Copies of this chain bind each other. A is one copy, B any other.
Amino acid sequence: MKAEIITIGDEILIGQIIDTNSAWIAEQFNLNGIEIYQITSVHDNHEHILEALKKAEEKVDLVIMTGGLGPTKDDITKNTLCEYFNTKLVFHQPTFEHIKTRFTKLNIDVNKLNRDQALVPESCTVLFNKAGTAPGLWFEKNDTFFVSVPGVPFEMKYLVEEEILPRLRVSGKAKAIYHKTVLTQGIPESMLAMKLEQWEDSLPGNVKLAYLPSPMAVRLRLSAIGNNENILREQVEAEITKLQKIIPDQIFGFNNETMAEVIGRMLKLNGKTLAVAESCTGGYISHLITSVPGCSAFYNGSVTAYSNLIKENILGVNPETIFDFGAVSEQVAKEMAVGVRKVFNSDFALATTGIAGPDGGTEEKPVGTVWIAVASENDVIALKFIFGDNRERNISRSSQTALQILRRLILKKL
């Protein structure tokens, strides 16, 4: 099945917003076996929309329109659809009841504009929009499906997932899909591909493997296409079980989990706590950890020690160590980790010291040089990295790498 996405709205054509809807729809449709032939962005303009519909109908089996619906811009799109499908607007009582219920909850009166949202083309099937007020509109004409959804991303997503894809599946035009992403770390993509070659070759014909690019991890997405979602889930889970036997140490999580979430889960499970001492990462590691809801169960806190005096006075780094080896050194990183672990009375500790840039580098220690130390009751280990010359990326990569090293320490695999 071939589809075209038509996005309606001046805001895209003046560059006011980036069209993220199309990429999301394209990905979902592709995963469901529907090829996107073209994406077309047009103005809120009667002739322009008519022309785009006509051209699309010549090429594809499904046209999905986003945008151009909603209280202030309804008129053009809905009237144009009526013209194209040779029908007229009628009042749709269930949609009006839904709008009234939503507005009553918000203590807002329903005005004329909102009432007009309940007007729909007579010949279409109305798709109930639980996520908003403007319903989806589903048309069929000469074996081509046309569907119009609002441009608000979460409303569009709701209608695609809950109304459009299920209908396409029932009609036999879209398949059922199950996908799960495996997060791996500690082995480069090319080596991983070699290691997984045999397993990949043995995958069932309806299960596909994709390597997804990501700055700090290699993500493997397994997608199974078929007719029954339960069977597909079992298939994918069975393959992941095999995968876990091939790379037991490298898999750290699934789907959208972050490294901080994974670490939090491990620490909570074992009743352990964590403290952090940051120099070059400047608070970013602490931010990543505290982005995890409920982190106070395992996280005691951090010190951002931007001056040597703080490293000495609060973290207990020996001034002589700084004098002898410099603030960016294995020795200082280790003393920071040991110090913060003690001061914060924690089981585990993490420390960073480096030159984030753009200035401050030397020949011996160029911009991007970072020492990362981790400490537990029995161990203190420091590793050196040389990242690039971009401050923002250095902070991000140092922080992500530090969390990876901490995970390995907790697993006693460092």
List A residues at the B interface (Cβ < 8 Å).
Answer: 12-20, 22-30, 35-43, 48, 55, 276, 278, 281-287, 289-291, 293-296, 299-307, 309-310, 313-314, 343-345, 356-359, 391-392, 395
For the complex, give the distance between the alpha carbons of A293 and B42 in Å.
42
Copies in the complex: 2
**A309 CA to B346 CA in the complex, in Å?**
12
The answer to whether A23 touches B19, judged by C-beta atoms less than 8 angstroms apart, is yes
Interface contact B306-A304, CB-CB below 8 Å? no
Cα separation A360 to B291 with both chains bound (whole Å): 15
Q: How far is the CA of A309 from the CA of B19 in the complex (A)?
A: 48
Known: A293-B357, A300-B306. A37 touches B27 (CB 8 A): no
Complex contact A395–B307 (CB within 8 A):
no
Q: Which residues of B contact A41 (CB under 8 A)?
A: 22, 38-40
**Contact between A344 and B36 (Cβ–Cβ < 8 Å)?**
no
A-B pairs with beta carbons under 8 Å apart, 20 shown: A12-B39, A13-B35, A13-B36, A18-B19, A18-B20, A18-B23, A38-B48, A40-B40, A40-B41, A276-B304, A283-B289, A286-B287, A286-B304, A290-B356, A294-B359, A301-B303, A301-B304, A301-B310, A307-B344, A313-B343
CB distance from A389 to the nearest CB of B (A): 11
Q: Chain B nearest CB: distance from A182 CB in Å?
A: 18
**Contact check: which of B19, B26, B43, B284 meets A37 at CB < 8 Å?**
B43
